Amino acid sequence: MKVFIAGIIQGSKVEPDIHDQLWRRSIQHALVEHLPEAEIYDHFDEHPTSMAYKMPQIRETLADGNRRAAGCDLLVAYLPSASMGTAIEIYLAAHNGAVVLTISPMAANWVVRAHSDRIFPDIAAFEAFLAVDDVRKMLEDKRLGGKR
């Protein structure tokens, strides 16, 4: 099972700066604990200095992340606020049949609503879901054409 961790990096910042990325560790830990067989890919972990990238490396990095999101089985998105890159990744994953679990207070956002299989208000709710719900069954249902 391929899992893609998506989430806010730069968001709406106008300066070449990023949001705190510590949230990634909590999500990775929860996935390792509850889905130990998962192959977890975190694009930021692969590109921690990406804010210093120049063209064409920026385009190549975006394209690689988009390909990986489109090819995953499960995408976990962290959106405390809007992120254009994460919206693209959510769309691509959902469009290609992945289960999308979104952690966000923006439950009314159309992209979040239209393309998420589940929406959680915070990481604690996501972790609780993993502990009691059967994500593997969600994945199987999706593979068999189950509706959201």
Enumerate the domain spans of the chain.
Answer: 2-11+23-143
pTM (two decimals): 0.94
Given a contact cutoff of 8 angstroms between Cβ atoms, the answer to whether 123 and 23 are in contact is yes
Closest listed residue to residue 140, CA positions, set 29, 35, 1, 38: 1
Given a contact cutoff of 8 angstroms between Cβ atoms, the answer to whether 73 and 2 are in contact is yes
pLDDT digits (tens, 9 = 90+) for 45-78: 999 999 999 999 999 999 999 999 999 999 999 9
- Checking if the pLDDT of 147 tops 70, the result is no
Given a contact cutoff of 8 angstroms between Cβ atoms, the answer to whether 47 and 62 are in contact is no
DSSP string across 96-133: TT-EEEEE-S-TT-HHHHHH-SEEESSHHHHHHHHHHS
Tell me the CATH number of domain 2-11+23-143, given options 3.40.50.450, 3.40.50.1580, 1.10.10.10, 3.30.2130.10.
3.40.50.450
Given a contact cutoff of 8 angstroms between Cβ atoms, the answer to whether 69 and 75 are in contact is yes
